[in-house]
Structure 1
Amino acid sequence: MAHEGSAEDGAIVVRGARVHNLKEVDCEIPHNRLTVVTGLSGSGKSSLAFDTLYAEGQRRYVESLSAYARQFLERMEKPDVDDIEGIAPAVAIRQKNLTRNPRSTVATSTEIYDYLRLLFARIGTTTCPQCGQVVQKDHVDSIADQILGLTEGRKFYVLFRLNQAPVAATTPGRKPKAGSRGRPRNLRATTDSVGPSGQQGAVISDSLKRHLFMLRQRGFNRLFQDGRIFEFSAPESLLDIDFRKPVYALVDRLAVRPDIRQRFIDSVEICYREGGEAIINLLPQTPEEKAEWLSFNERFECKRCCIVFPEPQPSFFSFNNPAGACPQCQGFGNTIDFDPDLVVPDKKKTLGEGAIEPWTKPRYRSLQQEFKLAARDRGIPLNVPFYQLAPKHREWIMDGEGEFGGVRGFFKHLERKKYKLHIRVFLSRYRGYAVCSECRGGRLRREALNVSVEGKNIVDVCRLSIREARSFFDTLTLSQEQTKVAERVLEEIRSRIDFLYKVGLEYLTLDRLSSTLSGGESQRIQLATALGSNLVGTLYVLDEPSIGLHSRDTDRLIEILKNLRDIGNTILVVEHDPEMIRHSDRILDLGPGAGEHGGRIIYAGDYDGLIKDSHSLTGCYLRGELSVPVSAERRKPGKAWLRARGARQHNLKSIDVDIPLGLMVCVSGVSGSGKSTLVHDVLYNAMMARRGNAAPKVELDSIEGDEIFSDIILVDQSPLGRTPRSNPVTYIKAFDGIREAFASTPEAKKRHLSPGHFSFNIPGGRCETCQGDGTVTVEMQFLADIELVCEECHGMRFKPAILDVRFKGKNIHEVLQMTVKEALTFFAGIPSVAHKIHVLDEVGLGYLRLGQSATTLSGGEAQRVRLAAHMAHSATSQPLFIFDEPTTGLHFDDISKLLAAFRRLIDLGATVLIIEHNLDVLKAADWIIDLGPEGGDAGGKVVAAGSPEVIAACPQSYTGKFLASHFSDKTTSP
């Protein structure tokens, strides 16, 4: 075993780790290095990396915080280990996508959206939607530039308008009536006067008198009206002013000269402060000219349309804030409304045949007749398929017009009666999420969309893919002033987008919902976010970051991890990818087997030493001594095919796909090429909908050939259960036979015990203190909760009376502690149990204990337990199995066992459809459908389809290039 020194020299030193199946593991992880942990599925990789190192690093960091802060953080229990030295605060980046927030997007989770909001608030240009003119404030410097650019010597006045209260006209001997239009109520007249030459005067309100008095106190002694200047040092001087017309305070009298700039700016600022606007009265230069008036203000408004706009603030662009969120959809981008595709499920039907599905119900047939009459009157044909109707006719049917309310009016009418249960049930059949009609999915209020940067508003920018956004921000041109205020913000945006590009996510759009990401995509987004945070001195623990990544993009991922290492972090990666292992600084290989047979470090050192180590199973595969076998003869397609036509969901380009049945078929392609969309969103959902199951809307012309399948089974790597009571033997339904065997013993019959008494899931025979868990959780407030072995049953889960019953000399607790291989011999006389347990052994899980908690199983183990359950119950029927990257978490040796299980399923009559990047699986496939050529909008096409040899020979296929080089290592299975 190679050693890189002690903790003092820069390493994390682990002594005596016993978490799960680890066998007193001692190891060292050098600081600021990239260390890969590899080994068989179930050998203890995650137990060492996550449950020991990450758990201790996080626990120590959390315990260093105050009690107040700790209550908001995840509480980690101390791992079962003697000592860990030199550990840093830890960050775990897992495969699982735990985001369920419908507001979370790629941009928000990477903090790009926060910086975008800052960018648009700082340098965004607001445009008037009515006239297209730029909206801006009149800044004093720009006003000075404009006025001082006039002819030198041009005279002008700087004014601001008085805030006049309404006044009323008066005539000699007559006072205005109270409440008249020219005068507000409750204002007492103070002066009745007649102006010069007998003209009408005006009644001046008390508030206006006070305002004038305050202006005089602040040094304003002149008023301006109709080209005349009035002194108002004495009240009688006001008699010459007609207060029914605009009156202005004179701030300054100037002539255009270079040396008046500061004086002019000061005058304009006084106008802004006193009156909210500055008015420049340019005096005529000749007797023939007229005075010219220019008005400036600090209001953020369109000067042409006089529409005031809100000033851009970061909150103005947030769909999580009421200030920015669309008021109709509350920032979600969609609303619950009737779904046209559910209202007209079969668009080949005519209106006469009942294309409008809700009106075919007996209760609403009268509406159908009224609708036909209205359609005839409007000239809409009743014998033409719905999809061939003119757009204006379809719009009329949906939205109505005049007395005919249309489908929308029909549902609005029913909304008023939804207090009735049957109406609510009826409405729910036709409801779905529709794009918000107000913001059109943009999530923001309309005013926010008036702000743009280089012609794009913030919604337009978020709809760009990472690749497009990278190009947009790299070519963004700004003025010197804009650069000064936005340089740091742009730097943060560019770096984060660059990280997303480098981890192979260039096909994702910035507004992609986080909840729709795969586990691998979610993990790489977390990785990009970690890089953007620029943390140093941190332990990063990653769980197979290459999952979901095409071989073409692995090099970029490795480069990202090296960058993270080089800035001063320790990287610990659980990984099986040969390239990742080859580029690591240190390798820990766990084994030699899995479960109870694993938990030991077989090799620790560099790559060159690993491929020479004779004890390492990983080394045997890497140096070519062992390889994943390929069948000597591939199965050929028969007459049965699953055919899909016109698949255009998401980025699929209306493709036609033919899948041969009874074979192992792989769907490959670069990340984002449309594999999951094709298999999950189109094929699976379409087939489930044809079977009458609820399924999301599918954009597909037709599908045929699926009627041959007796069942359609989607197998993923999600946990089997979330409680300690869930285990492999219960999942494969073998526990029923075991309980019946115990209930049939003489002792059980004597005590009147039924099979239910031998279950830890229901009351009767289980220990009620721990409710069959075997452990009791003690809450420790600000410390991590402690799990203690139940003192009543001592962890055996059952009452003493149940444990007294023995079958072949063992009680129920002892049977659950057996491994699968031990149980095969023990239950050889009970075929119903032995057959199901044998399938577990067949998929490589012979080391698992029958009662092992499902919460301790790895993702690969959980998937194989699911596979075993289906194999155990499959008859001679023809099911379709769908797998999404089944090699996740699997070692080379585990992949060999998985492929053997697939071949067994196919021998039983099944069709196996797999989304996969792993070259060992692709070369073993009978048929491959390769999508691409790129990801996102540049993908969604079928690049090639055929046997692995056909794909390898296709020059346009990225998969083919890597597959061709991989075929040199091909060996044939016996």
Structure 2
Amino acid sequence: MPAEPPATATTAARPAAADSHDVIQVRGARENNLADVSLDIPKRRLTVFTGVSGSGKSSLVFGTIAAESQRLINETYTAFIQSFMPSLGRPDVDGLHNLSAAIVVDQERMGANSRSTVGTATDAYTMLRIIFSRLGTPHIGTSSAFSFNSPEGMCPECEGLGQVSTIDIDQLVDRDLSLNEGAITAPGFTVGSWYWQIMARSGFYDPDKKLRDFTPAEWEDFLHKPAVKIKVGSNNMTYEGLVTKIQRTYLTKERDSMQSHIRAFVDRAVVFAECPACGGSRLSAAALSSTVAGVNIAQCSAMQISDLAEFVRSIEDPSVAPLLATLRQTLESLVEIGLGYLSLDRTSATLSGGESQRVKMVRHLGSSLTDVTYVFDEPTAGLHPHDIQRMNGLLLRLRDKGNTVLVVEHKPEVIAIADHVVDLGPGAGENGGRICYTGDVAGLRASGTLTGRHLDHRATLREKTREPLGAISIEHAGLHNLRDVSVDIPLGVLTVVTGVAGSGKSSLIHGYLSGRDGVVVADQSPIRGSRRSNPATYSGLLGPIRTAFAKANNVKAALFSANSEGACSHCNGIGVVYTDLAMMAGVASVCERCEGKRFTPEVLEYTLRGKNISEVLGMSVAEARDFFPTGQAAAILERLTDVGLSYLRLGQPLNTLSGGERQRLKLAIHMAEKSSTYVLDEPTTGLHMADVDKLLALLDRLVDDGNTVVVIEHHQAVMAHADWIIDLGPGGGHDGGRVVFTGTPAELISGADTLTARHLREYVGADG
């Protein structure tokens, strides 16, 4: 066992583990790229896992340790209960010993359900409902009378959504045309189509009559008539008005399940407005009438959490004292974790990955459980340097309760508080998956590994910043917490927009810059696509690969698509077969017929320079660059390499990519477009300190090619490297929303007194 770090105020180190039961033993881990890894991880300690993107950190921590812990827990339930749980396969590992129950607190965004809010996700709103049902005057009933998700409490007009939708008729039709001339512009109603024929032959109006000449009765039948049976020729048909039909076929579907052209149409045609009946509060009139200390429950939910915590502290009543204490603790934890700027009525789907992870974290801070393994995925994502210290304190608190805390992280500030460090590498993909170092932080610093060498590395300020070529003006911005902000975004330079979480950065840039002509946004949102999608299909690389195979073998290109003619018929080109075991958990197993290769045996006989299509899709981007040295494929692979994705396999499912990898994949694709302004949202997420330097070189190249680059970022290396900084604050929520500084990084360091200025001054000053 390596020596423990000396006890300090921040690390409070403990005596070394006494025997084998005090370590999690990993033996022969081979999940993804792990190269038969064996190691011991001390229990009841804070262990940080480091290494470049793709080095195997997540495969070890999430894919092996946490996955096996959760699988073993699931196996303790009956088969009936397991049938409602996700299927978890056994990780590829020889042995895992002394595991404790693992709780994964990751950055997966919380469900896109519009009924889920910060209040419902943390149970704070549930507690508030019970308090109002006991103390509210007038008394209106049980806690469900205050729930916008129950028939008793929801507004009957909007059914608890807080919004009503109306359809813009002029996005559906051209009033100057007749049906026969193509008056219906909505998708699926082109002249001659099935839906069009039912409408044109319904007999309710003349298909040669221009829509603007319809009588009120014809217009009503055309748009809003409920479903009725009609006879068209000798056939019985069901007729519905156009709006009725569109509401039923399009608006009842989840947005993410729609095809892109339907989604674009719905976004144009449907107008959402605050519900006039409940004022957007989602609640019934009765629920809104009941108050505690003159405030109703909707007003409590709309308060900034830091203000709500103060309000709840003012309520005293012995009948709900335990509940008040728990609610206060939850709200104070949200403030402590840096989320005091949110409100309980904020929908979960609007939270960033980092915010989602911190909301989930709150559920565990007050838990009485000990000897649990907590697993975190970059808990500092989305945090300003000012907030990282608070996050460190929370991680140490969980450890000090007797828990094992495993953290995948790149930030030196978090690595510094570790009791134990596991460094994976030395590279990514095939070049990673090995243990480069285990031990304390001092040993890592002296180890000579890539992480050890970069632990004290600091980016320096530019000697000379670029001169702007003009500016994009944002005037009187007032979205969310922005306070009538007017600011110029300089053109032709690298601009970094910074400020604490909740200060208004995203509201300013995504709300007022994104969407303008020539502005390309590459963010970390999920990439829409099925489990068939991979970097080759998403980047357009599969096209030239299929063409090359087709030419070399004088056959059709469609044979080389796992979504087309060449697909294995047994697994439909997915490579795995999903078996439903009725009340037992379903199982995904490698397709026996194609052995996971996705293609038919006939297709796999065709080769290109000695490799079949499955072998090519199994290559990493770096290997594929050597295999396709010229042409369109080479150009796409070059861009994927430029954004630091050389380790990705061409056929790797997109749903296995992290948020940072998704953003860099989008950036690689956008780099092929003729653009003038790039907007990036925390592109350093998931990047090792050594890779941040490569990212800075890429941003420089984009600017030097004549583009404008705007980056929302907390990483101090990116701030130091900027030509121009726009700093928002001074705090988050209603304490933010103002521009507190604009200028060069050197001017920020020398003349400003913002939180960002203080931390950047310290960062740059530490550089020798």
Q: Give the TM-score normalised by structure 2.
A: 0.83
Partner SS for 1:953? helix
* 1:150-549 correspondence to structure 2 within 5 Å: 311-337=140-166, 419-421=240-242, 431-476=270-315, 478=316, 482=317, 484-549=318-383
Q: CA deviation at 1:412?
A: 9.9
**Contact 1:715/1:884 (CA < 8 Å) preserved in 2?**
yes
Partner SS for 1:535? coil
Partner SS for 1:125? coil
User: Which deviations, in whole Å up to 9, do the C-alpha atoms of 1:311-362 show, x marking residues without a partner?
Assistant: 44212211222222222222222222479xx99xxxxxxxxxxxxx999966
Q: CA deviation at 1:80?
A: 0.9
Partner SS for 1:27? strand
Q: 1:123 to 1:67 in 2, by over 3 A?
A: same
Q: CA deviation at 1:716?
A: 2.1
Aligned length: 686
The equivalent residue for 2:2 is 2
Specify which of 639, 661, 665 is matched with residue 495 of structure 2: 665
1:560 aligns with 2:391: no
AA aligned to 1:822 is E
AA aligned to 1:936 is G
Q: CA deviation at 1:723?
A: 4.8
* 1:632-643 correspondence to structure 2 within 5 Å: 632-638=463-469, 640-643=470-473
The equivalent residue for 1:678 is 508
Q: Using the alignment, how far apart are the partners of 1:841 and 1:967 within structure 2?
A: 29
Partner SS for 2:725? strand
The equivalent residue for 1:42 is 54
AA aligned to 2:508 is L
1:757 aligns with 2:559: yes
1:766 aligns with 2:543: no
**Contact 1:720/1:726 (CA < 8 Å) preserved in 2?**
no
Q: CA deviation at 1:499?
A: 0.7
The equivalent residue for 1:29 is 41
Q: Using the alignment, how far apart are the partners of 2:488 and 2:344 within structure 1?
A: 33
Q: CA deviation at 1:26?
A: 1.6
Q: Using the alignment, how far apart are the partners of 1:54 and 1:781 within structure 2?
A: 26
Specify which of 601, 618, 633 is matched with residue 451 of structure 2: 618
**Contact 2:84/2:585 (CA < 8 Å) preserved in 1?**
no
Q: CA deviation at 1:571?
A: 1.4
**Contact 1:110/1:528 (CA < 8 Å) preserved in 2?**
yes
Which range is displaced more, 923-932 or 68-77?
68-77
1:648 aligns with 2:449: no
**Contact 2:146/2:283 (CA < 8 Å) preserved in 1?**
yes
Q: Using the alignment, how far apart are the partners of 2:643 and 2:419 within structure 1?
A: 33
1:734 aligns with 2:546: no
Partner SS for 1:469? helix
Q: 1:944 to 1:326 in 2, by over 3 A?
A: same
Specify which of 729, 738, 742 is matched with residue 932 of structure 1: 729
User: Which deviations, in whole Å up to 9, do the C-alpha atoms of 1:542-584 show, x marking residues without a partner?
Assistant: 1111111111111111112222222232211111122111112
Q: 1:431 to 1:878 in 2, by over 3 A?
A: closer
Q: 1:585 to 1:781 in 2, by over 3 A?
A: farther
AA aligned to 1:814 is E
Partner SS for 2:366? helix
The equivalent residue for 2:624 is 823
In the TM superposition, structure 1's runs of 4+ consecutive aligned residues that sit over 6 Å from their partners are 357-361, 411-415, 422-430
Q: 1:448 to 1:796 in 2, by over 3 A?
A: closer
Partner SS for 1:36? strand
- The structure having more radius of gyration, on CA atoms, is 1
Q: Using the alignment, how far apart are the partners of 2:172 and 2:65 within structure 1?
A: 59
Q: 1:443 to 1:7 in 2, by over 3 A?
A: farther
User: Which deviations, in whole Å up to 9, do the C-alpha atoms of 1:903-933 show, x marking residues without a partner?
Assistant: 2222332222211111111111121111111
User: Which deviations, in whole Å up to 9, do the C-alpha atoms of 1:155-192 show, x marking residues without a partner?
Assistant: xxxxxxxxxxxxxxxxxxxxxxxxxxxxxxxxxxxxxx
Specify which of 119, 124, 136 is matched with residue 131 of structure 2: 119
1:923 aligns with 2:725: no
Q: Using the alignment, how far apart are the partners of 2:600 and 2:713 within structure 1?
A: 47
Which range is displaced more, 452-461 or 914-923?
452-461
The equivalent residue for 2:199 is none
The equivalent residue for 2:429 is 595
**Contact 1:42/1:858 (CA < 8 Å) preserved in 2?**
no
The equivalent residue for 2:658 is 858
Q: Using the alignment, how far apart are the partners of 2:639 and 2:113 within structure 1?
A: 39
The equivalent residue for 1:136 is none
**Contact 2:377/2:407 (CA < 8 Å) preserved in 1?**
yes
The equivalent residue for 1:812 is 613
Q: 1:661 to 1:318 in 2, by over 3 A?
A: same
The equivalent residue for 2:185 is none
Q: 1:900 to 1:629 in 2, by over 3 A?
A: farther
AA aligned to 1:620 is R
The equivalent residue for 1:87 is 99
Q: Using the alignment, how far apart are the partners of 2:246 and 2:574 within structure 1?
A: 40
AA aligned to 1:333 is G
Q: Using the alignment, how far apart are the partners of 2:277 and 2:407 within structure 1?
A: 46
**Contact 1:774/1:793 (CA < 8 Å) preserved in 2?**
yes
**Contact 1:628/1:893 (CA < 8 Å) preserved in 2?**
no
**Contact 2:461/2:746 (CA < 8 Å) preserved in 1?**
no
Q: CA deviation at 1:630?
A: 5.7
Q: Using the alignment, how far apart are the partners of 1:852 and 1:423 within structure 2?
A: 42
Q: Using the alignment, how far apart are the partners of 2:244 and 2:59 within structure 1?
A: 53
Specify which of 823, 841, 846 is matched with residue 641 of structure 2: 841
Q: 1:413 to 1:952 in 2, by over 3 A?
A: farther
Provide the alpha-carbon RMSD of the alignment.
2.9
Which range is displaced more, 550-559 or 25-34?
25-34
Between the two structures, name the one with larger relative contact order (CA 8 Å, sep ≥ 6): 2
Q: Give the TM-score normalised by structure 1.
A: 0.66
**Contact 1:610/1:619 (CA < 8 Å) preserved in 2?**
yes
Q: Using the alignment, how far apart are the partners of 1:794 and 1:313 within structure 2?
A: 57
**Contact 2:129/2:143 (CA < 8 Å) preserved in 1?**
yes
**Contact 2:21/2:98 (CA < 8 Å) preserved in 1?**
no
1:888 aligns with 2:685: yes
**Contact 1:589/1:618 (CA < 8 Å) preserved in 2?**
yes
Which range is displaced more, 712-721 or 653-662?
712-721
Partner SS for 1:903? helix
Q: CA deviation at 1:441?
A: 1.8
1:110 aligns with 2:122: yes
Q: CA deviation at 1:617?
A: 1.3
Q: 1:62 to 1:899 in 2, by over 3 A?
A: same
Q: Using the alignment, how far apart are the partners of 2:243 and 2:146 within structure 1?
A: 41
User: Which deviations, in whole Å up to 9, do the C-alpha atoms of 1:579-614 show, x marking residues without a partner?
Assistant: 111112221111111111111121212222211211
1:100 aligns with 2:112: yes
Q: 1:456 to 1:636 in 2, by over 3 A?
A: same
Q: Using the alignment, how far apart are the partners of 1:804 and 1:412 within structure 2?
A: 62
AA aligned to 2:679 is I
**Contact 1:629/1:924 (CA < 8 Å) preserved in 2?**
yes
Q: Using the alignment, how far apart are the partners of 2:429 and 2:460 within structure 1?
A: 24
User: Which deviations, in whole Å up to 9, do the C-alpha atoms of 1:871-902 show, x marking residues without a partner?
Assistant: 3x23xx44322211111111111211222222
Q: 1:442 to 1:725 in 2, by over 3 A?
A: closer
AA aligned to 2:34 is L
**Contact 1:741/1:807 (CA < 8 Å) preserved in 2?**
yes
The equivalent residue for 1:948 is 745
Q: Using the alignment, how far apart are the partners of 1:74 and 1:104 within structure 2?
A: 21
Q: Using the alignment, how far apart are the partners of 1:816 and 1:316 within structure 2?
A: 56
Which range is displaced more, 523-532 or 735-744?
735-744
